[in-house]
């Protein structure tokens, strides 16, 4: 999801080498960054000016069921990236998440102390700490509820809703006890680009503007699709989905981009505007 947006936003101004374990685009080449030797060889041969470490396991249930693999992928591979960036003396970008907080506050700024609840969140926060402690020139950017990539790449909330709608569902059961901040992948990539240009290294919350909830996002989506009168939303609490989504999640993942605001570099749009752009750019004809 995020890699596609970075490719689009950076390809005109930079020579890119983009890798994945799932080579599903012509601009991708194969790499498993958990393999330090292969990772180092791939990066050193390309000799980049920056290293962007974007990949991770983000399925919370998978992470709870595959703990060792989760830390190998979400933490140790980040350590690999740190070693390589330091060897080349280049800046490193690491992507973190709003999920590292426990949800007990109304919102979290860049300086609030994380308290991760499950293995996904713990593995991501461990990556944050290692980057912060070991790479002098780094960006750690925390995303919220990610939206991007369209039907082929989006594995998150918006695509799950769109698939239900495409399948003809007339009723959507949406949790009413989870709050957060959506993050449009293209806004995120553009904001990272702005930080690289200023060389203001460090840790940044980077989410769309506006505090919201799963329920409100679903209502906004149906409004954009002009389906509010045809599809019923039934609010439920998280217990309704406990068999499917059994991993512990914070009730509140709301971030605010305080540091970006203070620096005058907050390019993130309001989530409603970004959601409208996302649907119009990626889902044209999807429901036909």
Mind giving me the DSSP string for the chain? -HHHHHHHHHTTTS---EEESS--STTEEE--TTSHHHHHHHHHHH--S-EEE------HHHHHH-HHHHHIIIIIHHHHHHHHHHHHT--EEEEEEGGGS-S-SS-B-TTSPP---SHHHHHHHHHHHHHHHH-SSEEEEEE-EEE-SHHHH--SHHHHHHHHHHTT-SEEEEESS-EE-EEEHHHHHHHHHHHHHHT--EEEE---BS-EEHHHHHHHHHHHTT-TTTSEEEEE-GGGGTTTS-S---SB--B--HHHHHHT---PPBHHHHHHHHHHHH-TTTT-
CATH superfamily of 2-155+180-211+254-269: NAD(P)-binding Rossmann-like Domain (3.40.50.720)
Domain-by-domain residue ranges, the chain? 2-155+180-211+254-269
pLDDT tens across 215-251, in order? 999 999 999 999 999 999 999 999 999 999 999 999 9
What's the whole-number mean pLDDT along residues 239-265?
Answer: 95
How far apart (Å, rounded) are the C-alpha atoms in residues 146 and 156? 7
pTM: 0.95
pLDDT digits (tens, 9 = 90+) for 76-131: 999 999 999 999 999 999 999 999 999 999 999 999 999 999 999 999 999 999 99
Per-residue pLDDT reduced to its tens digit, 13-51: 999 999 999 999 999 999 999 999 999 999 999 999 999
pLDDT above 70: percentage of residues in the chain: 100
What's the chain's length in residues? 288
Q: Are 233 and 222 in contact (CB under 8 A)?
A: yes
Q: Which residues contact 156 (CB under 8 A, 6 or more apart)?
A: 1, 145, 146, 147
């Amino acid at each position: 999801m995020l890699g596609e947006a970075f490719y689009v936003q950076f390809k005109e101004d930079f020579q890119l080498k983009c890798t994945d374990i799932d080579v599903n685009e012509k601009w991708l080449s194969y790499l498993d960054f958990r393999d330090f030797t292969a990772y180092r060889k791939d990066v050193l041969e390309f000799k980049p000016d920056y290293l962007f470490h974007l990949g991770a396991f983000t399925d919370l249930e998978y992470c709870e069921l595959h703990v060792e693999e989760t830390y190998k992928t979400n933490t140790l591979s980040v350590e690999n990236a740190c070693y390589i960036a330091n060897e080349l003396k280049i800046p490193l970008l690491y992507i973190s998440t709003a999920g590292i907080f426990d949800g007990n506050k109304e919102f979290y700024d860049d300086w609030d102390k994380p308290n991760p609840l499950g293995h996904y969140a713990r593995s991501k926060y461990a990556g944050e700490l290692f980057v912060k402690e070991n790479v002098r020139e780094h960006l750690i950017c925390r995303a919220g509820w990610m939206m991007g990539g369209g039907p082929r790449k989006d594995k998150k909330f918006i695509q799950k809703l769109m698939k239900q709608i495409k399948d003809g569902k007339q009723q959507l059961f949406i949790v009413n006890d989870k709050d957060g901040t959506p993050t449009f992948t293209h806004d995120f990539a553009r904001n990272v680009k702005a930080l690289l240009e200023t060389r203001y290294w460090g840790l940044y919350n980077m989410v769309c503007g506006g505090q919201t909830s799963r329920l409100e996002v679903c209502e906004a989506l149906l409004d954009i699709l002009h389906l509010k009168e045809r599809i019923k939303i039934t609010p439920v609490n998280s217990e309704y989905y406990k068999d499917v989504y059994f991993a512990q999640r914070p009730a509140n993942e709301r971030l605010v981009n305080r540091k970006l605001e203070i620096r005058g570099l907050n390019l993130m749009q309001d989530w409603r505007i970004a959601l409208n752009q996302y649907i119009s750019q990626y889902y044209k004809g999807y429901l036909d």
